[in-house]
Structure 1
């Protein structure tokens, strides 16, 4: 059975040591679960009964393509007009509680593992109909037009309905759950789930143009980031700039799993600053 980490909230005691694992470099950042406290949440216009841990946003000179938020909705909380940018696409991934998502004229009940792709300009709203808080990731990107390509349609699914695909030569120790077809050029971002069984590893330093947001859903692992070894666990977030060398191995007795964002399927911009 899958488990999905959520931010702990609260505040640490005054007796706790200051030393921690948070780090921000020119190539990557690590935001450990322990720093996702109440005092770093944001309230958002158009939302009620909601708070957000904003883990990534476009930042000049660093990662520039996406924003990633962990949302927490109190019972009855939500939004009738959640997306302020008509050109933005989004993904919702539920980690706890229940969500009622209205997408056009259709209503979807979503629980942990629920996944929704929200096309640019989609008419949607969301509310927590339950009696306990609901948690979900909200990943946003400006959809990039390309000649002859129309935006992809919205859809709703859940992890349990999507078969993971084993990476070649790994005997299933390294798998990826892909919610969209990688060959579909209408999609200029992928939000997948990567799973490593004990003993699974990325055995080489991937170095590529795609930016990443990685939120650890389950287990623990050790990541090699730009020459540094970083230990991470469920609830931690990693933010990787383009071309940051990266590799990892599962570091515990159970599975190591994370939610992965990457930008794909577009020409590099030659004039990124206009």
Structure 2
């Protein structure tokens, strides 16, 4: 399958082997990183996200257009915590672009400066789809987006010195906006401090940690393992005992499963 993608991508690359146009060409693995790149880069960058907002970033369907985008990119932004381990490497290999190879100046790891949670003591596949470097969903803590934004500004300034003042101004505006929003979000969620919640996947650990919620109950029996009837029965029992009233799911996860549990727990 991937060999077919390489063939199609190679045909698309033939007329555009030389980068054209001005400004930094950026490819981000997810919509979150793409949004941050646009916020900091402004009109000096063009940004493409590989994964859609409604797509599970652990499992992204490779397309020839992704290889073409990576071939033309000056910068590739990834999580840096193996979120994309199942699909990104073959695309980068097929793109044949030294700018986005591991260790290259254009290869940006979002995890730089982030204190990762859930780093496993030992690796065992029986534990499910765990991440060796830690939980990669750190952008669920809004303050971590500020850390990533500062890192992006540094990279953009290094690769486009003429635009550095613009990037720094955009970073300042973003930081001010984030500080304002954080005050609102913190005040809004303060009354719910300590509340236990149920989530489909362990995506919400950083969010819960920032706003003092308890996100220790999951619809998945183990990361990446679909819910089973016996496990859901245990979750229902736990929800009733603890009076849990909130179940969080993402667009690409089964809302039906959450609705069934909500029906059983009131």
TM-score, reference length from structure 1: 0.25
- Pick the structure with more helix per residue: 2
Q: Which structure: larger Rg?
A: 2
TM-score, reference length from structure 2: 0.26
Return the structure number with greater relative CO, CA threshold 8 A, min gap 6: 1
- Pick the structure with more strand per residue: 1
